[in-house]
Structure 1
């Protein structure tokens, strides 16, 4: 059985880019992935999905796992 991707995933610029760009080796550069995310129309949906799941690896919505974790903590503290 094949999982159906959310529509925003197929519309993202990352769908047209090498996936390894978004999952660099430890200590590798995330500059290219962040630039791709910055120009992407579905960045907010991507980030929301990564915060909801949560995604533990890679660049999602332009943020690293550490940045997403900090954002979740900030949102929880504000609530």
Structure 2
């Protein structure tokens, strides 16, 4: 749940960055430069965080799936051993 809220806030920040850039085009040179820098920083940081959270989220899911598969294999091996012992 926490990551979903963070992603929504980052998307809002991304939109805010674009709005800042839009209004920066209408201002005078000094304010325009400040607006471009502010909007650019907001967009870059929020996009980088979104991509990082997506990438890390995928890695976490892969790791948990790998662990789950290993536990299934162990369970299967133990069942096979128990069946072999029972046959003797």
TM bucket normalised to smaller: under 0.3
Instruction: Indicate the structure (1 or 2) with the bigger Cα radius of gyration.
Output: 2
Q: TM-score, normalization: structure 1?
A: 0.27
Q: TM-score, normalization: structure 2?
A: 0.25
